[in-house]
Chains A and B, each alone.
Chain A
């Protein structure tokens, strides 16, 4: 029984990730419609999109090789794996010990690696452009991301996600400049990583501005469904990662089965807030020129490094 409980929670979390991600995206879209004065399709539209795509036949580019066909599975698999690691509802997941924060970043990197390869595979200028830009963004965002979470792990003397969440949760509420810097950096990076405005625009196929969409332009059918779903999960996971690292209060601790409903409610509330934040940012800001992105990410990197330095200098 002692064994079954964590496994149960793990299963629950996977389901939450799988099902919650489209819901969150739907929520963001809905909010956006409201704010922009449009009529929304409701928070459940993403489910409908995915199931529609799943049913559809696949049209494959002539030149596509097995990489192109394998990539959606790899992307989905890596993202879901990441989803089973982040402490979303409970800090004591059996799989959190499997991979720490560095491995988590690497899991996202796998997804990106394969997406970029798929973009190159079809042999169009679009695909290549998307891959090139995606990897540019990633090559700046990834170190910044690591720096940002490293700051947290320096504070918590650990890179294990559950341990980090524990530490922040149990620590007295104090204003740590390092964590503040890290949080700012994390927000910037999360925006870039999840392909939101002002870095990328998930809603557009305007050729010269897009990054992520350029890579997956040739996907269709269930491949596209997997990619889209994985993208939604990524947004969900980044949000919950930020929550787990910086605002973990409310996440359940081991052997507190009673805490689970509380944790769930807290999660929903926090994610709703994150969605609101995203929508606010996206409606307030315009998309940047692609080479402004480097400055954007550069400042994220700077902030993250400052966070780390301030840990050594000030704390």
Chain B
């Protein structure tokens, strides 16, 4: 597989990741969100593996495997179990309506492209054009967190944001050093545990996972 083809495949994967990011933004059903999230993880993992193969960097395989296990299997599974156990409503409500969100999302993609333009010029890597997508994914994840009302969807948005970061790491620099990658993965794992605990805590204290319950601490009166 020569570099050119790898780059093309990578671009396709990047497009898919962007698509899934938008999918997360517009998806109303919660299981649907989980599926899309898992797909995004899969694309990310494949992309990492391909970059690792092309660049001959073997530690990227480890990253890819980590991504695969964490983002494709473990986290969606944990979330699935939690949602099931906590009997969370299947429908997801948005704060802002979906067309508006999409428009904002598109604007963010353009903005990311504009921002990464100078970096693209500098880079010599095959993956350089995908940095914009990575940044866009980060921003879309953030946008998702802002527009969603449920604790679970916020977490999914947060994880999507992390995916974007991960993608940025591989696309801009062929991955961070292994120590860092491992550490990041560990942190994500701990975070997953913590939000798991949190769901139960929230659930027991508020009888709901709706974030509306958690607006008591404020300065207004």
Q: In their complex, do chains A and B touch, with some C-beta pair under 8 Å? A: no
Question: Residues of A at under 8 Å CB distance from B?
Answer: none
